[in-house]
Amino acid sequence: MPERPSARAALALVTDDFTELRYPAGRSRADGPLTWQGYDASRARAAERTGEEESVVCGTAHVEGTPAVLIAFEFGFLGGSLGERTGDRLEAAYTHARAHRLPVVALIATGGSRMQEGMVALTQLQRVARQSALTREAGLPQLAVVRDPTTGGGWATLGAGADVILALPGAQVGFAGSRVRPADADPAAYTAEAQVAAGAADAVVAPQELRPVLGRWLQLLTAPSSAPAPPPRPLGATGLPASGWEAVLRARAPRRPRARSYLDAYFTERVAISGDRCGGTDEGMLCGFGVHEGRTVAYAAQTGTATRPAGYRTAARLIRLADRLGIPVLTLVDTPGAANDAEAERQGAGAAIADVFGAVASARTPVTTLVIGEGGSGGALALAAPGSTWATPDSYFSVIAPELAAAILKRPPEEVESTAGQLRVRPQDLADLGVARTSEQLFPGAGDRHP
């Protein structure tokens, strides 16, 4: 097996100006808190082999121009394990970050808590969790780069608890380390790629791309703004629909512009978060942060499919993160409705939708919504900002799809079109009802007519 990069090599990968922090004086107890015979000798050998005095190196640096506190684990020092003195250093790093209003970046490579310190080592995870919580309350972003390996309590605190999680290709990542997991466990499940696929991490990033990617994330997440995100310019049909059924047909047209087209036109650059941190992803919900007219704006965008529970949970995660960092949010509504199959129910569809309703309702940062296609019932309304929702000329919003409304009312199929009119689903109807504004009011005559 090739030698794993050291903590300082990991730091050099992302910055050129690292300045190490002054650490608290370490406790001097022979062989540690358990008087574990030979522990001092093991630490001395680890120090001689790595040139480090502990399993973490902490300091400040600029990553592509953005100042941050960096924490790098030295796996060569007792497997990057967390002990009492590790906790001292981590606490000092987080405290420094809050005092100087700096984001925290953890470059993790650890096997977990240090056996030679027993429960004293394990309780360092509580210290780390508290420091992370205090930093979160202070409105400062926390990013993790999971290296090989990232297991045990280090993954369950510094790693999985970060706002954005990037992973190096092929890294072993999971709560259970290789020596403690079941003998028949699939090793592929404990990889960076598997964690991204399961929604537990955001992206796999190649080492040579790590510095610019990390720098872009830091730049975006450290640029708060109190002004609302302006609604995007409509890209599709010009002129408002004459009837409710015409509005429905426009919204369902295969060639109508979708979320990716709107995001490409709105942002000069953007980065995506992925996954609900509960084991799921949904390609029908695009979430992330981008630059619009020089400002950072967060986005959660439906892509025209039935939204899965994982999609709602990812959107809620995005909105809460943006709210904590003081970044305005743009939501794009486009779904025939929430996924309603049995698997969606087993995955907690109702709770996931409620989570988004709650995130939007409690957000202190401004949320702007543009309905760009189908607005299907509560599965669409969850993303809509009360008092700040706009609708394009090729969109509609309805309490229920016209076909379903007709079925519930026991009307024949030929009355579906008239039912659409009665539901008042057109953009101008929504404006009359006071639930949305038409984008025509903001951008008269915008867009190109499509078939």
| pLDDT tens digits, one per residue of 247-266 | 999 999 999 999 999 999 99
Share of the chain above pLDDT 90, in %: 88
Average pLDDT across the chain, whole number: 93
Least confident of 108-117, 330-339, 396-405, 441-450: 441-450
What pLDDT is recorded for position 181?
A: 74
Q: 48 phi and psi, to 5 degrees?
A: -65, -40
451: pLDDT confidence band, cut at 50, 70 and 90? very low
Q: Is the pLDDT of residue 448 over 60?
A: no
Q: What's the token pair of residue 363?
A: 């957000």
What angle, rounded to 10 degrees, do the helices at 349-362 and 309-325 form? 20
Give the start-end residues of each E strand in 79-198. 104-110, 142-151, 164-167, 173-174
Residue 103 pLDDT > 50 = yes
Nearest to 77 by CA among 105, 42, 108: 42
Distance (Å, rounded) from C-alpha 150 to C-alpha 234?
45
Band of pLDDT at residue 188, cut at 50, 70 and 90:
confident
Tell me the per-residue pLDDT of 360-416, one tens digit each, with 9 for 90 and over.
Answer: 999 999 999 999 999 999 999 999 999 999 999 999 999 999 989 999 999 999 999
- Asked whether the predicted pLDDT for residue 176 surpasses 90, the reply is no
- pLDDT score at 423: 95
Whether residue 234 is predicted with pLDDT greater than 60 in this model: the reply is: yes
How many whole angstroms separate alpha carbon 58 and alpha carbon 72? 6
Residue 426 Cα to chain centre, angstroms: 33
pTM: 0.94
